[in-house]
Amino acid sequence: MKLDRRQMGAYLCIASNDVPPAVSKRITLNVNFAPVIKVPNQLLGAPLGTDVQLECYVEAFPNTINYWVKNRGEMLLDGKKHVIDETRNSYKVHLKLTIKAFNKVDLGTYMCVSTNSLGHADGNVRLYGYKHRPPSHQQTKARRLIRVSNDAGPVVSLLAG
């Protein structure tokens, strides 16, 4: 029998015959597999001076060690500049890297890395920046209401401007 990760979960086995009571047993099936990474946004642009959030999703069993790397260099650490969040749910992990006050030195390629006893996977996000443009102040035209009427017909209102 060949299993894959989609068959992981809890199963209920019930044994019954003509002699009551029936007996049931809950069994949890875990399937071991190497990490698989999905990166929803592989190219991300953000305004300079803002906080930027990068994401990746990992599936693996047994549990993984996960981290972020910039430009194939050193591992990024959780701190004032980089906030790293990891949410686990069974064999799935949602990783988030928030870059505070994004600026030109933060430009580059960020790699989400995941490792367990069965293997290794990584996914890339290329981050570029642009200057934040303040909202433009458009002049609004003054509008006036014109009412047209005569003795025979209804009043017609027009918005002119």
Band the pLDDT of 137: cuts 50, 70, 90: low
User: What is the pLDDT at residue 66?
Assistant: 98
Q: Which residues of 115-130 are buried (b: 16+ CB within 10 A; e: fewer)?
A: bbeeeebbbbbebebe
**Interacting residues of 32 by C-beta distance below 8 A, sequence separation 6+:** 61, 62, 118
User: What is the pLDDT at residue 26?
Assistant: 96
Can you tell me the distance from the alpha carbon of 16 to that of 81, in angstroms, rounded to the nearest whole number?
Answer: 61
Domains of the chain: 34-130 (2.60.40.10)
- Model confidence over 95-133: pLDDT tens digits? 999 999 999 999 999 999 999 999 999 999 999 998 866
- Model confidence over 41-51: pLDDT tens digits? 999 999 999 99
